[in-house]
Structure 1
């Protein structure tokens, strides 16, 4: 499942107190509270608000109208190509999420919006890595083209390394590992999932840590696999059942056995 980084995530000493507060709320699944801090509205803050509320949709499958409203504001305030490209990237991501969770089929809108973003965001620009990652998500989960997804994730991985974006890097590690696991490359998958988990734990990105634990557990033997899943359950309960799509993966062992 896909999760995004945004600029100024509050994880370095250079970030201002506002961004640090936004990051802490975001990492604890408090997206609405984090978005409320971002006033007055500027092109940057309106885009960041939209990004937060779109991310909320991905983790909770709720808040779609709030995300749409925030995104329309960001699109209206965008003036430069970079700003318009970033807004189009968020538009594509929201449409992807709505399609993935079967809220509404917006696959064509998702592809068109990311296409617009590609025309606006210059190759080599910092925002290109996130765009490549999201194009990989569409290739993997909507188009069902693992080869195209892998190529896009690798471009995103390189971009997240060149323009240091650790949260995005954790996502590319995770999705490349998922493709490797699907192909039976267990060692490669375990390494990628471990790197993704390490980065999320170092950043304190709690809302993304439980999925990382579950993914790593899929590559481990007992008793380590059970230990990782139990830690994921603890975090899942701590955050009030978020991300919602992880619930079925965290069913107690006896439930798993009964439904196998």
Structure 2
């Protein structure tokens, strides 16, 4: 496999997986990887990540994600693969806790700590791990300073080893912290960068949240309303995904 499907030159399988993922078709994307994932650790991890992302965006599919993750863990044979699997374990446990499915915060912290021991700074996957540790700090530990530091490390890593999709997330979450601190211009810039990247990548399932976030930092009420209207349109187009966005879009119901 080569690339993530987001750029020219990626292999056809990755391009197909990306197109499905970006349109909230995680189960279909995972199905494309099923045969390869039976023996290939990287494909198994990617499949587990897809099904885990489905859980976070739809609040469904937990058993399938757990099964895929166990299979990926069984195929992991070196520190990089074991670290990546632990990172996915931490993210799945974080998602379950955040969405109120079950309190798995201790499991999430343990798994992400294990991943940190296996993935040194600069290693592939470390930027994603730093970002996820930032999510834990912000949303489960209510520690914005620790979250900001983790997001900045992730942002630097995603810049040094180009990962535009991850950059769209770090921009958005750093902007969210800036908005929380009343830094409106900084927040608006970060949200705008996140939206720009997602539109360039064609990451449709992430575009509605980016639009809604930018609306929160938009001082012009009419412009903010237009952003929310477009977010609502995309939200409906994708069948109400991500589910947690509904409360920020009162007209989307």
Given the alignment of the two structures, is residue 246 of structure 1 paired with residue 242 of structure 2, yes or no?
Answer: no
Instruction: Flag structure 1 segments of 5+ consecutive residues without an equivalent.
Output: 1-6, 256-260
Which residue does the alignment assign to 2:63? 65
- RCO comparison, higher one (Cα < 8 Å, 6+): 1
- Say if 1:22 and 1:34, in contact at 8 Å, map to a contact too: yes
CA distance in 2, matches of 1:22, 1:214: 26
Which residue does the alignment assign to 1:17? 12
- Say if 1:47 and 1:87, in contact at 8 Å, map to a contact too: yes
Counterparts of 1:39-78 in structure 2 under 5 Å?
39-41=35-37, 42-78=40-76
Count of paired positions: 248
How far did 1:14 drift?
2.1
- Say if 1:136 and 1:153, in contact at 8 Å, map to a contact too: yes
CA distance in 2, matches of 1:177, 1:9: 25
CA distance in 2, matches of 1:40, 1:202: 29
- Say if 1:214 and 1:232, in contact at 8 Å, map to a contact too: yes
1:148-168 deviations in whole A, cap 9, x for unaligned? 000000000000000100000
Which residue does the alignment assign to 2:221? 222
CA distance in 2, matches of 1:96, 1:246: 18
How far did 1:125 drift?
1.0
Which residue does the alignment assign to 1:3? none
Which residue does the alignment assign to 1:104? 102
* Over 4 Å off, 4+ runs: none
CA distance in 1, matches of 2:145, 2:49: 28
Given the alignment of the two structures, is residue 33 of structure 1 paired with residue 31 of structure 2, yes or no?
Answer: no
1:76-101 deviations in whole A, cap 9, x for unaligned? 00011000000000000000000001
Which residue does the alignment assign to 2:79? 81
Instruction: Flag structure 2 segments of 5+ consecutive residues without an equivalent.
Output: none
1:45-92 deviations in whole A, cap 9, x for unaligned? 100000000000110011000000000000000011000000000000
Mean CA deviation greater in 219-228 or 17-26:
219-228
- Say if 1:126 and 1:159, in contact at 8 Å, map to a contact too: no
Q: Give me the TM-score of the superposition, normalised by structure 1.
A: 0.94
1:109-165 deviations in whole A, cap 9, x for unaligned? 000000010011122112100000000000000000000000000000000000100
CA distance in 2, matches of 1:88, 1:96: 12
RMSD across aligned C-alpha pairs, in angstroms?
Answer: 1.2
